[in-house]
Structure 1
């Protein structure tokens, strides 16, 4: 019977009932506790904001199971030698798909000029069809692939790009240039790593068709903020809808707030849903007890 340490104190009220229920559903009966001797712990349910930062004493622990999708705040911890699994939550994926599809359609259809129309301008201009609006999705992991599939179902021609080679995707620097060259809407769904920071810089933004739209629900540092503001001011980028930022909450004096071509959403594109996330954690614990491979295991070398 495994001992499961829930080491994310701020989230415990949400999971106190949901996690034991999910464990019971997969036949795991081990106790879920908020305190335990390190040498007794078999699994750690974790969030990078946890006060637990030194994993050295947890010699019996089979896996650290993160409740967050992003692992950049923990993957470099040298005391963490146990297998680390990130959260891939079906509820989070659904939320991300809805945000991406919603804002893609908003910009594709030009909804803003009708919703905010103080001059009561009668403009009967029709948008093109979705099949005439190329979209690039940068980052084709679980979230990117799901968003790309949803957009393709609406007839948007979608080009997927990945840092590493994936079937059906462009990859590498040449692939990125090719993906950006025709994209009227770009969706960023990459993890934050040294290789992805400032991925969209001045040179890359210049490759896009004039007036292209940027959607970033991935990670704030994927975009060079200064380069983006310059491209918006020059009209090279038509609009940027941003859900993530280098500093959160976004400081009230940040230029994004006041820019007419920027929409700020407060990191709400997707959230982990307690009930579905608890099932993901429970399934990984079941797998660990059965000697099966863990789901969503982090590749330390890649950083995600």
Structure 2
């Protein structure tokens, strides 16, 4: 019987244990720190685990991330280099992110921040409406989440642009890549959505210089990782009129400190890292199916390329 170490923090442990048990009744689940004999642990399922949790497990065969991002695992330098690291790829996670991106893009596209302010002021003032085809929405990151969000936005008629580190070709999307492509895309983006993986190359990619390349009055939506945004650069760009608004689901420090200036800025919308949550019922079936593949000699799917960081 395989043994899994459950080391996922800030989640509903009981819900996950029940879902994993339902997906594979033969899987023994041990919740950190009550792991018993470390030599009996075959697999680890982690999310924002403290450094060193995976150290001292001599027979560990693979590590599964609860989220699509894996930087929380890669930051732990005690993780053996040979160990497979598996990212979460769940259709419900993708559909949830698509819902979030479409919701916030439409919110800005249809002038909702202005109408909400007008309501507070008791002001009746219709605004001119831009056609979706004349609104350029740019997606940073064309992986599972980014490509699905880009395709969904084309369904509304938006002019959708996308950027990735290497060249991609997606029907209906104007694709850019590399440093030159990034600048070319940013210069055209009325609404910028960040869905990049967090790597050494993408950390701090949303900064004063890059965001200043956007057309005046552009909007930012960051649903990737807090490390993508240089937080000190955002408010000056908003106050100076370069950006008209920002939706932030992720932050350098989570939970966001109560004294952080983002909380009280009228042009910033804050969410508590909930743009797309991994659902225990569906994700557990994906994890246990992957373990079953591994135990029958088949290769694991969705293994991270550590050199790339995703």
- What is the TM-score when the length of structure 1 is the normalising length? 0.91
**Which segments of 5 or more consecutive residues in structure 1 lack a partner in the other structure?**
none
Is 2:192 aligned against 1:193? no
Q: Corresponding residue for 1:44?
A: 44
**In 2: Cα distance, 1:2 partner to 1:211 partner:** 54
**In 2: Cα distance, 1:183 partner to 1:210 partner:** 10
Q: Corresponding residue for 1:206?
A: 212
Deviates more, 1:219-228 or 1:137-146: 219-228
Does the Cα contact within 8 Å between 2:52 and 2:76 map onto a contact in 1? no
Q: Corresponding residue for 2:288?
A: 282
**Aligned with 1:129 (options 103, 114, 131):** 131
Q: Residues 199 and 62 (structure 1 numbering): CA distance in 2 closer, same or farther, change over 3 Å?
A: same
Q: Residues 51 and 179 (structure 1 numbering): CA distance in 2 closer, same or farther, change over 3 Å?
A: closer
Deviates more, 1:46-55 or 1:238-247: 46-55
Q: Corresponding residue for 1:157?
A: 159
**Which segments of 5 or more consecutive residues in structure 2 lack a partner in the other structure?**
none
Displacement of 1:145: 1.2
Does the Cα contact within 8 Å between 2:7 and 2:49 map onto a contact in 1? no
Displacement of 1:52: 5.7
Q: Residues 281 and 111 (structure 1 numbering): CA distance in 2 closer, same or farther, change over 3 Å?
A: same
Does the Cα contact within 8 Å between 1:2 and 1:42 map onto a contact in 2? yes
Displacement of 1:242: 0.9
**In 2: Cα distance, 1:174 partner to 1:269 partner:** 30
**In 1: Cα distance, 2:120 partner to 2:13 partner:** 47
Is 2:70 aligned against 1:71? yes
**In 2: Cα distance, 1:16 partner to 1:75 partner:** 24
Does the Cα contact within 8 Å between 1:189 and 1:216 map onto a contact in 2? yes
Q: Residues 134 and 299 (structure 1 numbering): CA distance in 2 closer, same or farther, change over 3 Å?
A: same
Q: Corresponding residue for 1:19?
A: 20
Deviations 1:249-272 (A, max 9, x none): 222222212222211122221111
Does the Cα contact within 8 Å between 1:96 and 1:143 map onto a contact in 2? yes
Deviations 1:115-171 (A, max 9, x none): 332333222223111111001000111111111111111111111111233334311
**In 2: Cα distance, 1:260 partner to 1:8 partner:** 34
Does the Cα contact within 8 Å between 1:8 and 1:50 map onto a contact in 2? no
**CA RMSD for the aligned pairs?**
2.0
**In 1: Cα distance, 2:13 partner to 2:58 partner:** 20
Is 2:266 aligned against 1:260? yes
**In 1: Cα distance, 2:8 partner to 2:115 partner:** 44
Q: Corresponding residue for 2:6?
A: 6
Displacement of 1:51: 7.5
Does the Cα contact within 8 Å between 1:62 and 1:288 map onto a contact in 2? no
Moved over 6 A (4+): none
Q: Residues 249 and 44 (structure 1 numbering): CA distance in 2 closer, same or farther, change over 3 Å?
A: closer
Does the Cα contact within 8 Å between 1:56 and 1:80 map onto a contact in 2? no
Displacement of 1:50: 5.5
Name the count of aligned residue pairs: 299
Deviates more, 1:33-42 or 1:74-83: 33-42
